[in-house]
Amino acid sequence: MLGLAKRALEHFKNKTTDQAEGIMSNSIEAYVNSDRYQNEIERIYKTLPLALCLSSEISNANSHRAMKVIDTPVLITRGEDMKARAFLNVCRHRGSQVCEEGRGEKRNFICPYHAWTYNHEGKLVGMYGEKTFGDLNKEEFGLIELNCEERAGLIWVTLNPKVQFDIDSWLGDFALELETLNLKEWHIFDQREIEGPGWKVALDGYLEAYHHNQLHGDTVGKHTVGNLLVLDTYGPHQRLTFGRKSLSELIDKPEEEWEDPLDHIRLIHSGFPNLSISGVLGGHCLVSQIFPTSSPDFTITRQTILSAEEPKTKEEKKTTQDFSDMVLQAVVDEDYKMGLQIQSNISKLESHNFVYGKNEPAVQNYHNWVDKFMNTEGSNW
């Protein structure tokens, strides 16, 4: 943290920022073309590992999290052996969902259609009217398993059951950065889902501080320095460091007198392609998972508000609620309000290009990796 604060302070004093080598151009079709969109969804969201769930969402044995990711129903479980597993949330008898969306705890999953019963390991353990059904090898009719790994307080899953992955290869050194957040230890205060603009319009806003002064003057812009970014990349994953206005307090102050460098910077850990962990501010943190929909024009963002400890007093609850309200306002009333406006406008520019400035290196890195994955055969990364 000291090193990051020093880098941010240098930029603050010099009115500079980390930069890419040059300006980058990207066609508007990358944002609006339906065929291209479907190809990218198949190649990126349905092939690469996605951080679908916090470990703390299913912290107990026999707990689960069920969700729809794009058009894929997913069930994530933690069995008696405390291992996290993921399955298609689809009964092998006739295709009904075996678990309603949301999270909770239950002994087994009973299909609401014909009462086929599955355990947390995905095994078919019971059938209504089994004696009259006919001979069936239950071992062959368990839930279809998705490759799943747990690392750094997150559960990573590939939506295509045929795709295998090595979580250490996928995360590389970024895993060490995520581990420093100790996500398993945080308390889940609230979760909500928000409709936002298309995938790339939404993600662009998470990857730069260029807009903070103009768009977030009443929220996060009160505290952060606009157009100041310290960037570290880990392949497709990135750590963004924003400077807080309190950096001014460190000018001419000896380093040995800096009490906590983290008080003067704000970190965002961006996991490709749709994870953003933001804040760690005053004992609070925001986890955002941006999920594409069937349309290139809209996304659903799951926001999880975390607190370092469960707020118990009236004052603690108010402080955490104030943080939750602030980030909701910043995203819904500012980022996504602007993003939805952009999404409705960009088709008018279809024969033209967007440009990403040298001062937007994280945006450039993100789109470069989208192109790399689209031009890579198979599931190699």
- Average pLDDT (17-41) is 95
Residue 290: its pLDDT value, please?
97
Average pLDDT, the chain: 93
211 lies in the same domain as 337: yes
Tens-place pLDDT, residues 80-136? 999 999 999 999 999 999 999 999 999 999 999 999 999 999 999 999 999 999 999
The model's pTM is 0.93
CA angle 222, 227, 229 (to 5 degrees): 100
Q: Tell me which H or E stretch contains 78.
A: strand 72-78
Tens-place pLDDT, residues 46-75? 999 999 999 999 999 999 999 999 999 999
Tens-place pLDDT, residues 139-183? 999 999 999 999 999 999 999 999 999 999 999 999 999 999 999
The answer to whether position 381 is within a domain reads no
Tens-place pLDDT, residues 283-332? 899 999 999 999 999 999 999 999 999 999 999 999 999 999 989 999 99
DSSP assignment of 20-34 equals -SS-EEEETHHHH-H
177 lies in the same domain as 133: no
Helix, strand, coil percentages (3-state) for the chain, rounded to 5, are 35, 30, 35
The answer to whether position 231 is within a domain reads yes
The answer to whether position 335 is within a domain reads yes
257 lies in the same domain as 366: yes
114 lies in the same domain as 213: no
301 lies in the same domain as 152: no
Q: Give the CATH number of the domain where residue 95 resides.
A: 2.102.10.10
189 lies in the same domain as 305: yes
The answer to whether position 191 is within a domain reads yes
Residue 361 structural domain: 2-47+172-374
198 lies in the same domain as 80: no
200 lies in the same domain as 272: yes
**Final residue in a domain of this structure, among 101, 135, 164:** 164
Q: What are phi and psi of 256, to 5 degrees?
A: -65, -15
326 lies in the same domain as 191: yes
330 lies in the same domain as 184: yes
Give the count of domains, the chain: 2
Long-range contacts of 90-95 (CB under 8 A, 24+ apart): 90/143, 90/144, 91/116, 91/118, 92/116, 92/124, 92/141, 92/142, 92/143, 92/144, 93/141
Helix (H, G, I), strand (E, B) or coil at 346: helix
DSSP state, residue 209: S
pLDDT at position 379 over 80: no
**Beta partners for residue 243, in sequence order:** 265
**Final residue in a domain of this structure, among 124, 147, 164:** 164
273 lies in the same domain as 153: no
The answer to whether position 346 is within a domain reads yes
The answer to whether position 277 is within a domain reads yes
The answer to whether position 270 is within a domain reads yes
pLDDT at position 17 over 60: yes
111 lies in the same domain as 243: no
Question: To the nearest whole percent, how much of the chain has pLDDT over 70?
Answer: 97
Q: Give the CATH number of the domain where residue 19 resides.
A: 3.90.380.10
